[in-house]
Amino acid sequence: MENLTISNLSVDSNSSVPDNQTRGLWTDYTIEYKVVSVFLVSLICGVGIVGNIMVILVVLTTKHMRTPTNCYLVSLAMADLMVLTAAGLPNITDALYGEWVYGYAGCLGITYFQYLGINASSCSITAFTVERYIAICHPIKAQFLCTLSRAKKIIMLVWALTSAYCVMWLFLSDTTKLVYDNVELLSCAYKVSRNLYLPIYFTDFAVFYVLPLMLATVMYGLIGRILYLNPLPSDPKGNTQKWKKETTSQGSRMISSNSSSSTTAASRRQVTKMLAVVVILFALLWMPYRTLVVVNSFLDKAYLDTWFLLFCRLSIYLNSAINPVIYNAMSQKFRTAFQKLCHCGPQRIEKPATYSLALTYSVIKETSNGESPNHFTTEMDELHTPMDHYVSTKKGPCGQASLPGSDVKA
């Protein structure tokens, strides 16, 4: 993996010329390249930074959003923020000035945080993939494995290990002067030769790209088999419904556990689809850059077309910026939380109605997936159903509708 801000985005560390020779004439980027590069990088990074900050804020400030899956999404948002700031923003100065302007300390620090963000994002994707697999394919184990406290510990372990692993880049990076006939430019490059760098790169390539994608492919295949071939009814009309009588403080109600089971299955599919889209985009948007570096590893003269390098970089920045858009498009829960954070759109009531407590525990008894109450209510919140907006119609002293007093903890 190469530094995403240096001008030679390729495995070409041994391309230095002898000290008594120059590199020929240096030519600056064209005006067209500067305008397009600065505009697109600023736009993508700006949207991505705002979106990922919103993801972190809504999970940290909204109680019912603090679920194990969302904890991994916060970790992914933090890693994406690191990539956008440490890799994306320095590219703007590179396009404007044509050289490294952050000095020796900036070279080491920015390179370190680039790799830390990239590796932590890959590990976070792997973590929520495993969490989804356990929650759906092994629901009984999920009751004590897929918990909020365990998710926090796994995230801390991921960041600790990736932070320690990336320390090596502090010793592999350095600033160097590029001597041309007409100018001297400062560059942030690597100390090691090409022969020494290739094993390091391919280790990174295998551990943080190939293996996570192979694992995700297998696990989402198993998840898909469970979700689409499970015994939970997907069409309530084609199945005999089971009715249970539940007594609450407001009287007796008859509820259908069969339709609730179908609701649970649909919710699980929706959450899994959203996370699968995140993984697929991670694979596709990183592919141009990874392919370029692999190809250049075996070429005598590296392919360094300026516009194609910009395309590779923009794909990486887009990968770090697009996840909040996916959450907003595919999750009612996130969309409502984003609207509340921005104070736009209708304000929804966070406390579910009193009857939903009885509904939840009734469905847990009836369904055969064995999921814990926490897991069930979390997925129920993802549905695009009127249940999210339900308000009790019990009249108060002034004839106005009163809100229910009980709350289902998520």
In this predicted model, which residue has the larger pLDDT, 369 or 93? Answer: 93
CA atoms within 13 A on the CB side of 395: 3
162 closest CA partner among 196, 112, 125: 112
Q: No. of H helices and E strands in the chain?
A: 14, 4
| Position 73 pLDDT exceeds 90 | yes
Contact 368, 358 (CB under 8 A): no
Average pLDDT over residues 156-179: 93
The pLDDT value recorded for residue 22 is 63
| Position 300 pLDDT exceeds 60 | yes
* pLDDT tens, residue by residue, 109-128: 999 999 999 999 999 999 99
In this predicted model, which residue has the larger pLDDT, 262 or 35? Answer: 35
pLDDT band for 400, please (50, 70, 90 cuts).
Answer: very low
292 closest CA partner among 207, 201, 203: 201
Average pLDDT over residues 157-184: 91
The pLDDT value recorded for residue 216 is 94
- State phi, psi for 179 to the nearest 5 degrees: -95, 120
pLDDT band for 39, please (50, 70, 90 cuts).
Answer: very high
The pLDDT value recorded for residue 3 is 57
The model's pTM is 0.76
pLDDT band for 139, please (50, 70, 90 cuts).
Answer: confident
The pLDDT value recorded for residue 179 is 86
Return the ∠ at Cα 218 (arms to 217 and 222), rounded to 5°. 115
The average confidence (pLDDT) of the chain is 77
Strand partners, 174: 189
The pLDDT value recorded for residue 286 is 95
The pLDDT value recorded for residue 121 is 96
| Position 374 pLDDT exceeds 80 | no
| Position 163 pLDDT exceeds 90 | yes
| Position 394 pLDDT exceeds 50 | no
* % of residues, the chain, pLDDT over 70: 70
* pLDDT tens, residue by residue, 231-260: 544 444 434 444 444 444 444 444 444 555
Contact 41, 83 (CB under 8 A): no
Average pLDDT over residues 103-113: 94
In this predicted model, which residue has the larger pLDDT, 68 or 406? Answer: 68
* pLDDT tens, residue by residue, 192-245: 877 778 888 888 999 999 999 999 999 999 998 888 776 544 444 434 444 444
The pLDDT value recorded for residue 244 is 45
* pLDDT tens, residue by residue, 336-349: 889 888 876 555 54
* pLDDT tens, residue by residue, 308-335: 999 999 999 999 999 999 999 988 889 8
Tell me the DSSP string of 266-330.
HHHHHHHHHHHHHHHHHHHHHHHHHHHHHHHHT-SS----HHHHHHHHHHHHHHHHHHHHHHHHH
- What is the residue extent of each domain of the chain? 31-389
In this predicted model, which residue has the larger pLDDT, 397 or 272? Answer: 272
Q: How far apart are CA 184 and CA 92, in angstroms?
A: 20
Class of 31-389 in CATH: mainly alpha
The pLDDT value recorded for residue 359 is 35
